[in-house]
Structures are given as C-alpha cells and as structure tokens.
Structure 1
Amino acid sequence: MSDLTTDPSDVRTGGVATDDAPWWRSAVVYQIYPRSFADSDGDGIGDLRGIIQRLDHLQRLGVDVIWLSPIYSSPGDDNGYDISDYQAIDPVYGTLDDFDRLLEEVHARGMKLVMDLVVNHTSDEHPWFVESASGIGSAKRDWYWWRPPRDGFAGGEPGAEPNNWGSFFSGSAWQYDRDSGEYFLHLFSRKQPDLNWENPEVREAIYEMMNWWLDRGVDGFRMDVINFLSKEASLPDGKVPPRATYGDGFPFYAGGPRIHEFLQEMNRRVFAHRTGAYLTVGEMPGVTVEEARLFTDPQRAEVDMVFQFEHVGLDHGPDGKFDPGSATPLEVKESLVRWQEGLSDVGWNSLYWNNHDQPRVVSRFGDDGVHWRESATALATVLHLLRGTPYIFQGEELGMTNMPFTRIEDFRDIESLNHYADALATHGRSPDDALAALHAMSRDNARTPVQWSAEPNGGFTTGEPWITVNPNFTHINAVAQAGDPRSVLSHYKALVALRHEERVVSDGSFRLLLDRHPTVFAYVRSLGNRQMLVLANLSGEPAAYDLEEVDAWRGASLLLTNSDAPSPVGDGRLGPWEAQVLVRG
C-alpha cells in the first residue's frame, strides 16, 4: 500500500520552501525526453503539443519542475544534442508559439520549466561552425578547436591526429577537414564539434543566448557535460588503457584549469542581475565529492547542484559501460552515502536513478520480473527520501523497464550503433556478444515511448513510432496504474507528497544505520524533534537486521510502505524488496 495522512493524489500547485532555504530543496524535477513523451500529430515523434496534453499527469504526480531535453533545431545526429540553432525550435517538435504556450501552461499549474543547455559543442551545421570551417582565415576559426596534423602530409593525405584522444561515441576525437588541411575536435559525434571556451566571443554569444531564454520565461538550465568546457590548452596525449585503441583525454578536459572561472563568469553574466528563482544543475561526468563541494558551494556562485555518475558507473566493467558487470546493494548504498555525507555541510545533491542516458533502474539494480513492483518502489523510496533534489525520468513513475531488443536494426542511438560496429570490426566480438552489451546498457532502453495506456503503441502515437514501444505496455501503463493504490505510480505520488509535506525530508540531516548490511538500506532523517526512519531491503530474499535503536521506533507512525503486510519494525525482518518509512516527534 501507499498510505499517507493526506491524499497523495491531491493536485499540487507549487513547492516553495517557507523559509530562507532555496525553493528547490523541497522540489521534485521531472525530465521529459520530448521525442518519446507524447505525439500529438501522429508522425511517430513526440512534440510540444503532446507534452501540453499530458501536463495534467505531471500535475497529479505533484512534480514542481519540468526539465526538457533539447528541443532546438538539430540535424538529429545525437537526437537533439547536436544543436544547429539555439534560438529556434526544431520543426519536428513544433514552433516557438507552441513553446510559449507550453511554458504558459506549465506556469499556470504552479510548475517551473528548465531547458537543456548544450554548450560544450554544437552541430557541425550550426552557422558558427559553418563559418569556422570556411577557411583558416575565418573570423570564427578560433570558436572551435582546430589543429594541424602533427606530422604533416603524405601525398595529399592527412598525417596523424593532433593527439590520441578517443571519442565517447567510438573512434578518434578528431575529424579531418580536407579543404583546410586541419582537424577539429569532437569529444562526441564527428557532427558535434567542441566549442572553444578559451575564446571570450564564444562565451559572450552563449550568455546572450541564455539570457534570451530566461527573458522568454524559462526557469533555469540543466547543463550538459558542463565540466568539459575548459580543456588543457596544449591538448596533450592521454594514457592508452589496456585493450584500447585511443588515449584517455579525460584528465585534460574534465574539470579543466578554467572551469570554475567560466561558471562563475556565467553566473555573473546570466543570473546575478536577476531576481527570479532559477535552477542550475551541471551534468559532470567523473566529478568527485571534493570537486562537487566547490561547484555547489553557494558562496562561490557556480551551480546549484551537479549530476554525478559514481553510482551509475558501479556496474561498468574494466572496458567501460559496454562491458557490463553487476553492482551489489551494498556498493550502491555506499556510493549514495558517500555523497550524502560529503555534501552534508556545503552544497547540495541531485538524486537520480534514471535519465535519457541510463538503462531503466528496475531492470538494472532491481528485479523487472517477479518483484517488479516491489523493487521499483523500494528503489524509489531510498532515493527520494535522501538529502537532495530528486529527479524522475519519464516513465520511471510507472516502473518502465529495459526494452527487449532483438536485432541491431531495433536500435536508434548513435552511441550504441557505433559501439556495435566497432566491437565487430575492431575488437572481433560476435554479434550476439555485442548485442548482449547493448541490451544491458544502451541509452535506447530509456528512450522507448512513454506507456500511457494499453491502446496501440501504448497511447504514445497513432502513427508508426520512431522507436519501438516496449511490448509490456499492455500491463505497464499510466491508465492501468492511475486508480490503483498499490501501483508504482501511486507510490511515486506519495514520495513526492512526503517531500512537500515533511520538512525533515527537504531540510533534515542524514544519518546512516546498518552501514555494513549487505542488502538493507537504513537511515534516519532528523530536523529538530522530528525524525524519519527509512528501511528498505534491496534484494529478492527476506532480510534480517539488528537495529540497536529499534525499541525507540516501536510506537512510530508508518507513513509509507510498499508491502500489503508490512513487517513490524520490532521484528528485525523485511520481506523481499520491502520498504518502510516511519516518523516520530
């Protein structure tokens, strides 16, 4: 059951803290991947009007902020993260008028809207890059990272790349331009050239664009790979890992020498002169706790919070994400706790299991078979009641699972397709082995359409969807769960309501219990005399625990559980994937 003292289905119209604490401490953010959220015109691709049609679902869920993945004009090489015009809506999603209406409808429901900011790179079809690539003498040549071959030419062919860095999307991070005889840097797709933030003209153009969106009414930005902006200017070679073809340039572009300077300048040029309540969250692959304390210290005026990747890297093998392994519940717990404790006195955590780049958590760290509902709700419980701002990725509130892809032709993601080709051609993997890795870790697992109903294509579209809908939409969908108090959706509503109603969740301290227990995640949140105990068994087997302070909780109120027959707290036992939330004081 999901039981609260108030009806969790009550419509919420805001989430601002009642004191001087930033409003986003009590907020919950919902990420929309527009291409897969809701299609209004039957072309098989989600759009802005489709989002408008589904806003009531988000209002009933109770979320405070909507984060939109990119909707800007784009050739679509990386599904919108390759932007060709920062101030235009891609026609596949609609128009600026559609966006303005969406923003108006979001605000009318007491919610905020955050845009995705992708400024480490652009599309190679952006006018900036088109001009930059027009010749060595171009006025915008230095807007991107151009370098000559390091060992000259032979018979008109290019020499070696300027350094040995590899791309996140397989192959070299350098693309040769025959017209100018130089290479340009692209940490991602060859159609995503990296901007040169060393050039102040680049920075000013980006700040102008950000101000344009804020003036239009948006409420902040989620900043894509924002810690990659500052590169080591000499672009040195990276160490070549075992069994790898290319060098690891990560130490020279992640958290580079001027990153704090750039973010502080961004704050001054974009946010400091404004009086509104904005949200800035920086996606920062590889960021450490110590670095995050600097980035999120409010006295430094950089970003409000960061997305870190430690917990979602635990099941990566020695050769990276497409060498999947497994992570134990204890390892996951220890990682989350390290961040809770590391940012306890300064800064703030972002809390997430899923996003557009990650496999579905119920298939990854949970059990999408026998204990599907229980594991989806247990994982949600332990995450949402931690100290930080929770993020829900579309469909997560329904317990959507990984997709049972059967052929390489079923995939759409450039990272997955490039890895498959590279695994076969360069590393001699079999098609079955390469597909198995994609099944577990492909970003396409997160990008299948939202399952709204048991209607054809899950109610996502009346046309042919751009990527196949998960066949389990017939029983995992929003309509089926809307009126069911035992559903994953009802449990998420209850968790969102708890953050709004219990200040101990938004503002309380964190204290871990049972630190070495292999499957039970137990912690206490405290604020004044109010205390909340969270207990969850993150396994499919019953778990026993010995809690020294159990007697003090015998008379506590059970606020929330995912069990029809919750275990008495004094028994020291939890059923498979059982979660309990108790409160006293």
Structure 2
Amino acid sequence: MQDFLWWRDGIIYQIYPRSFLDTTGNGLGDLAGITARLDYLANLGIDAIWLSPFFPTPDADFGYDISDHVDVDPRFGSLADFDELVEASHKRGIRIILDLVLNHTSDQHPWFQESRINKTNPKHDWYLWESPSPSKGEGSGVGVPNKWQSVFGGKAWTWDQIRGQYYYHMFLNEQPDVNWRNPEVRKAQMDVLRFWLERGVDGYRLDVFNVYFKDDQLRENPGKLGRRAFERQEHIYDTDRPEMDSVLEEMRSILDEYPERYAVGETFLPTPEKIIRYNGQKKLHAAFDFEFLWSNYKPSKFLTAIQNWEKVAAEAQIWPNYVLSNHDVPRPATRYSIGEDDARAKVIMAMLLTTRGTPFLYYGEEIGMRDISLRRSEIMDPPGKKYWPFHKGRDGCRSPMQWDASENAGFSTENPWLPVHPNSEKRNVAAQQENEHSLFHFTRSLIALRKENITLLRGEFIPLKDMPRGVLAYLRKSDEETILVALNFSENMKKLILPKKSWQILFSENREDKITEDALLLFPHEVIILKAN
C-alpha cells in the first residue's frame, strides 16, 4: 500500500522487556531477547514495538523510577544491544517506540542526589521542594505544604532529612517529580528526546505527560466522594496545568525534524476534553483512550466506547487508537473469564482489529495469556504490597512470555523474576503456531486481512442498529467498497438481518465463500466479515 503510514495503519505491540525473553540467564528479559524474536513479530504482522522502560533503575517501580534516561540498565543489555535492536527491527520494517518517563526520576538519579544536598546547589530547584507549613513541626508529617495525595497511597510530600525540606512525588516517594518550570530541566528533558531520536527511535509513548506541571501556588484540590484518599480529590491543581501545552508544542517541533516520527500520550485521568486539548498538528499525534479496558464483555459497552472515541477524534481531528490490555491492568482473558477454547478472545480480538483506529497489542495477547495468581509473599508490585488483598498489584499481567512447553516456558534457563503461568505447557507460542484454529493464527490472519484492505484500515465506521441482544455489527465503508463485521458476543445462536446487498465472505472460520440469504444465523461467539458485491 503506497501511502501506508506505520503509526496510523499499522499494528503496535507493547513489550515489557523484563518479561519477554531472557538470553543471559539472569531471570530477566533483555534487549537481545527482543532482537531474537523479531522474526516472530514480523511473521505475526507487527509494524511497531513499544518498549516499556529498560533504562537504569533501582526498581522501586520496575523501570518507571529511572536513574539515567540516556543509558540501558546492564541487566537488560547495553547501548550497543539497543542499536542492534533498532537496526534489526528497521530491516524487518518494524518501528521502535520508547516509553518516555519525564514527569519524575528515581530518587537515586544524579539530578536528585545533587538537588537534595542544600538549597543553593546548581540543581537546587530541579525538583519540587517546599518548606513545612508555618507553625507546624518540621518532619512531623503534619507540616506538609498541602493535602495533595500520592497515587500509590499516602501524602504526596516526603520529608528529606538531608535538605531539610519536603519534596513532591505524585507516585512513590522514590519517584520525585521534576520541576518543569525550570528552563534547565526543560532543556535537559528535550535533550533526552533528541538523544534517542538520534539513535533511530521512531516514536514515544509519553508516560502520564499531563501531570508534568503542578499549580505554582499549591492550591488545595476540591474534595469529592471516593474510596481511597487520592480518589477523594478533584485533581485540578496537580494535573493539566496551562503550561503543558507549550511543552507538547516544543516536543512536536523536535519530532517533526525527523521523518515519520510519532508521539502517543498516556493521559492521566483521561477525559474527552483532555484528549482534544493535547492532540493535533502542533501537539501529540495520538492519546490513549482506555474505555475498552473498563468495558464489560457486552457489545453495548464496547459500541459506546467506539462511538465516544469517534466523536472525540472527529472534533480533535486525530486518529483513534484502541487497547484491550497493557502492563497496568488484568489481561482480557482474565477480565472476561475467557474459556480455554478462546472463543470470547477471538470476538474481542476481531473487534480490536476491525475498528477504525490503530490497534495496540500487549505481549502474549495473541496467544490468550492469562494473569498469574500470586501469594502475598510473591508480590513484587508496590501497590500490591501496600493494598493487598484489596488491590493485589499489577504483577499478574506481567508474567514471562510463554514461548513453548519447556521449563519456564522457554523464557529463561533460570528462575524468572515472576513465576510462569502454570498453563504454559499447553498455552504457548509453539503449540499455537502448530494449531491452525488457535488464537495466534486467528490474530495473524485478521492482521493480514486488515493490511491488504484500505476500507478496514481507514473506512468510515457505521454501527448497524436494532441488532439482536449480544451482537455487535457495523459497516466499514469507503468509496471503493462496503464491509460488514458481525460479532456474536453471546453463547446462543443469533439471527442477523443483512442490509439489502449481495455479500461474499472475507473472513470466517467455518463458512463457505457466499451468503445467499437476506439473513444470517450467527453461531455462538462467531466472527464473520462480509464484503458487498
């Protein structure tokens, strides 16, 4: 396809590096492991891989507490390994997206270590330091500058004995927020952007980008009803400050110096208004919409999410994207209690790959990986340790990739950093590659169909009305053709009245190539894609 644009028309695949493939025997996945599996990804039909952080880190938040933004953690490899990965990926037509965490650093970062020394050092204002509130004791815990809360629980201010002030952290106290109002900080962060672009990176996923700035007066957030302390505040003053717009414009201008570069933002506490604000020709190329992540296994819920996105995309003049899974939420096979036959998994995979927008896949989603269950003593994730049993953390969706039926699922020759799922003897890449009816082959076939069909890539999305309960059906329409997608979410046969046209089958697991009737009887959990003659 001549005008194929990778971030619009392609498939983006998220890899959690420490869980993908271990080539060194330390129990952690590494960059060389990703390079070793590029042929697998190319065969699946992947156009870009988004790499979760692999930078040097003390691992308080497993890579999202970075101590050096312009290097590779030795456990994951080296800059030479990264360069090899980029070169090998590009040879296969696969782009590289980095997870860029610029709101905060590790408290072990040299910037913070210098900043905490005293109130006069060259980096004294590279972070958000504040003295205790008047008339309240230093270090008492009650003298905090305001009542802002940390996402991970507790106050967002931690007393630093060395400097004799509080520092702000929206997340863990090991993750101090940088001061984006400082021009030197801003330049340093833009230098990070350029560093990886010069090494051949094709794009960025900006982690919680809309919280870079906080209210300079530290005004209190209004209260609201909520379960946790963080949720009992309207986050007006610690997110989405006006200064954010100019930062995105500067980032976009840097990206535009390089051909076909891309930035997608993770909007913290997303709303349609925020997506519209932060996207456009001078800002981000895209922002995540997470409605699919919170939708029940009901066609009406998914349709509402799609229609909401279509409305926002039209208003903001941006391209939609859809995600069913990532490193922060339970996998869809677990969320939706999908059976071993993967029938439900095929339905939602078909929906993801036939809507109008860029699909994001999470590693292992193509083989229907499930979350692992952990005892409390096995939990690694900070929120899980803190809130167990009410919130068991995010470890479940981060287990090692299941490559084959061997010990440790072919992920590592040593004990992996998280346990391999017990089902890996049967549910793995090798087994599914041999089974033409597997979720892997289903996904691969749909990706191939999508790529060769301009209407599935960019055609208008038109939902069909008055569908039987449990059925989601829609047209994808272009000047060239009309395509009908019908998805039966239910356990029952459903009768679908077809629009008055002659139809041929583009995709089906169990039907012939023609539809001769005006109605179609859908099998339970059936996926069928038709093309109007």
- The bucket for the TM-score relative to the shorter chain is over 0.9
User: In the alignment, residue 418 of structure 1 is paired with which amino acid?
Assistant: K
Q: Which residue of 2 aligns with 1:147?
A: 130
The separation in 2 between residues aligned to 1:148 and 1:515, in whole angstroms, is 62
The separation in 2 between residues aligned to 1:415 and 1:561, in whole angstroms, is 43
The separation in 2 between residues aligned to 1:166 and 1:566, in whole angstroms, is 59
* Pairing of 1:131-530 with structure 2 (within 5 A): 131-154=114-137, 157-238=140-221, 239=223, 241-245=225-229, 247-248=232-233, 250-268=235-253, 270-274=254-258, 276-298=259-281, 301-314=282-295, 328-344=298-314, 346-364=317-335, 366-369=336-339, 372-405=341-374, 407-420=375-388, 431=389, 434=390, 437-438=391-392, 442-514=393-465, 518-530=469-481
State whether residues 292 and 347 of structure 1, in contact with CA within 8 Å, keep that contact through their aligned partners in structure 2.
Answer: no
Q: TM-score, normalised by structure 2?
A: 0.94
The separation in 1 between residues aligned to 2:67 and 2:148, in whole angstroms, is 25
Q: Over residues 142-198 of structure 1, what are the superposed CA-to-partner deviations in whole Å (9 max), with x where a residue is unaligned?
A: 221111222444386354322212211122211111233321111111111111212
Q: Over residues 60-119 of structure 1, what are the superposed CA-to-partner deviations in whole Å (9 max), with x where a residue is unaligned?
A: 001111111111111111110110001110011011111111111111111111111100
User: 1:521 Cα deviation (Å)?
Assistant: 1.5
Determine which structure has greater relative contact order: mean sequence separation of CA pairs < 8 Å that are 6+ residues apart, divided by chain length.
1
Q: Give the counterpart of 1:551 among 476, 500, 517.
A: 500
Q: Which residue of 1 aligns with 2:523?
A: 575
Sort the Cα spacing of 1:483 and 1:344 in 2 relative to 1 into closer, same or farther, 3 A: farther
State whether residues 70 and 115 of structure 1, in contact with CA within 8 Å, keep that contact through their aligned partners in structure 2.
Answer: yes
Sort the Cα spacing of 1:558 and 1:344 in 2 relative to 1 into closer, same or farther, 3 A: farther
User: In the alignment, residue 273 of structure 1 is paired with which amino acid?
Assistant: E
User: 1:563 Cα deviation (Å)?
Assistant: 4.9
Q: Over residues 394-421 of structure 1, what are the superposed CA-to-partner deviations in whole Å (9 max), with x where a residue is unaligned?
A: 000111112233x11222111211222x
The separation in 2 between residues aligned to 1:258 and 1:517, in whole angstroms, is 49
Q: Which residue of 2 aligns with 1:561?
A: 508
Deviation beyond 4 Å, 4+ runs, structure 1: 515-518, 562-570
Aligned residues: 529
The separation in 2 between residues aligned to 1:48 and 1:485, in whole angstroms, is 30
**What are structure 1's unaligned runs of at least 5 residues?**
1-16, 315-325, 421-430
Q: Over residues 315-366 of structure 1, what are the superposed CA-to-partner deviations in whole Å (9 max), with x where a residue is unaligned?
A: xxxxxxxxxxx664422321222112331361011211011112111221x3
The separation in 1 between residues aligned to 2:439 and 2:427, in whole angstroms, is 10
State whether residues 286 and 308 of structure 1, in contact with CA within 8 Å, keep that contact through their aligned partners in structure 2.
Answer: no
User: 1:309 Cα deviation (Å)?
Assistant: 2.5
User: 1:476 Cα deviation (Å)?
Assistant: 0.8
Sort the Cα spacing of 1:70 and 1:91 in 2 relative to 1 into closer, same or farther, 3 A: same
User: 1:240 Cα deviation (Å)?
Assistant: 5.1
User: In the alignment, residue 464 of structure 2 is paired with which amino acid?
Assistant: L
Q: SS state of the match for residue 342, structure 2?
A: helix
Sort the Cα spacing of 1:561 and 1:176 in 2 relative to 1 into closer, same or farther, 3 A: farther
Aligned-pair RMSD on alpha carbons? Answer: 2.2
Q: Which residue of 2 aligns with 1:93?
A: 76
